[in-house]
Structure formats: structure tokens, C-alpha cells
């Protein structure tokens, strides 16, 4: 009689645990296309429009800086994903990983949010980070120091801050993913 208890117990356990094991295997995996899309947003569009346009020369500063520095920033942040900066009127593919940089006051306060696997995660205020924490800080400092006029200095400051915001958003994304992988 005692010898039948163990096989019966194992069979019952297998029947009860099978749906749970199958559910965990069917859980959505992180975005496998290897792309991280970056989008920009603002709560104060009028102030943001004023901020993002160059005063030293014609052109847009924020989106162009993000596009120019995305590859280097991802490399510095240790991300293997291809970083794709989307224009404002373009949406990321459904279910894709999206890093959202939001100029909350239309000025220089910037937050980062990551949408991955259908869930939104606040990464925090990236604009609070110090230039000294950026891996390419010497180049950023030279850029600011080489600006000749007040308008050029303003534009260089916005470009530098935008590049830093992207880097720290990407770095926080990588750190979040590493924490989740360590828990698994």
C-alpha cells in the first residue's frame, strides 16, 4: 500500500503542475526583434517648440541630436539593441519596445519611460544626471566650451543635454533588463 502512494503522488503532482509550467513557458518574451524605438513627447508643446529650434542656425535640435547620437549612446549604455529614433508623427510597431523621453515642462526637465511586453515602466528623471557621469563627458564639455556666441552656446547646451538624456534613458533601460534577467 505504501509503495502505491509515491507513484500516485507523482502522477497527481504532474497533472496539477503541468498547466502552471505550460503557462510560464508561454509567457511573452522580451522583444526579440532587437530594436528599441525612441519617441519624444511633451506636456507643454509651445514651450518645447521654442526650446527645440536652433537660434544659432536654422534647424531642429532635439530630434536631430537623438538620431545622430543613438548608435553611440546605445554602445556607451551597453545595449545590443538597434536604437531607432522615430519622427513625431510615426508610431512604433505594435508590441515593440519603446523608450519614451518626455519633456515634462516643455523645457529641460525630462523623464524616461520604457514600454516593453505591453507594460509601461517609469525609469525616472533622466535630466537630473550630471555630465560627469556620461562616458564621453570630455567631448561634451569641449562642445560647450567651443561655442562662440550666446546663441551657439544655447544650441550646444540643448544638444548636449538631449544626448545625455538619451544615454541615461538607454542606460536605465539596460539596468532594468539586467535586474529582470537576474531574477529569472
87-122 per-position pLDDT tens digit = 998 999 999 999 999 999 878 899 999 999 999 999
Rounded CA separation 18/25 (Å): 11
Q: Containing domain of residue 118, as a range? A: 35-183
Residue 30 lies in a domain: no
Residue 91 lies in a domain: yes
Residue 4 lies in a domain: no
Residues whose CB is less than 8 angstroms from the CB of residue 92 and which lie 6 or more positions away in sequence, other chains included: 37, 39, 86, 98
Give the HSE-up count for residue 98: Cα atoms under 13 Å, Cβ half-sphere.
18
Residue 21 lies in a domain: no
Residue 20 lies in a domain: no
Residue 42 lies in a domain: yes
Buried b (16+ CB within 10 A) or exposed e, 61-97: bbbebbbebbebbbebbebebebbbbeeeeebeeeeb
Q: How many domains does the chain have?
A: 1
Q: Mean pLDDT for the chain?
A: 86
Residue 2 lies in a domain: no
Distances (CA, A) of 11 to 4, 14, 21, 24, 25: 11, 5, 15, 20, 21
pLDDT tens per residue, range 123-140: 999 999 998 999 999 999
Residue 126 lies in a domain: yes
Question: How is residue 22 written as a grid cell?
Answer: 505550460
Summarize the confidence of residues 31-59 as an average pLDDT.
86
Residue 72 pLDDT grade (very low, low, confident, very high; cuts 50, 70, 90): very high
What predicted TM-score, i.e. pTM, was given to this entire model? 0.80
Q: Please determine, for residue 40, whether its predicted confidence score (pLDDT) is greater than 70.
A: yes
Residues whose CB is less than 8 angstroms from the CB of residue 52 and which lie 6 or more positions away in sequence, other chains included: 60, 61, 62, 63, 158
Amino acid at each position: 500500500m505504501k509503495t502505491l502512494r509515491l507513484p500516485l503522488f507523482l502522477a497527481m503532482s504532474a497533472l496539477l503542475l503541468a498547466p502552471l509550467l505550460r503557462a510560464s513557458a508561454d509567457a511573452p518574451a522580451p522583444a526579440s526583434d532587437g530594436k528599441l524605438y525612441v519617441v519624444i513627447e511633451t506636456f507643454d508643446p509651445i514651450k518645447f517648440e521654442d526650446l527645440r529650434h536652433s537660434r544659432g542656425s536654422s534647424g531642429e535640435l532635439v530630434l536631430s541630436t537623438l538620431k545622430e547620437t543613438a548608435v553611440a549612446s546605445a554602445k556607451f549604455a551597453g545595449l545590443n539593441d538597434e536604437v531607432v529614433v522615430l519622427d513625431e508623427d510615426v508610431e512604433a510597431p505594435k508590441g515593440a519596445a519603446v523608450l519614451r523621453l518626455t519633456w515634462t515642462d516643455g523645457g529641460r526637465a525630462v523623464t524616461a519611460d520604457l514600454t516593453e511586453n505591453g507594460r509601461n515602466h517609469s525609469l525616472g528623471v533622466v535630466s537630473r544626471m550630471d555630465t560627469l557621469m556620461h562616458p564621453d563627458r570630455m567631448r561634451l564639455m569641449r562642445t560647450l566650451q567651443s561655442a562662440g556666441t550666446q546663441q551657439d552656446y544655447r544650441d550646444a547646451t540643448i544638444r548636449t543635454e538631449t544626448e545625455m538624456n538619451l544615454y541615461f534613458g538607454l542606460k536605465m533601460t539596460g539596468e532594468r533588463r539586467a535586474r529582470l534577467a537576474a531574477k529569472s
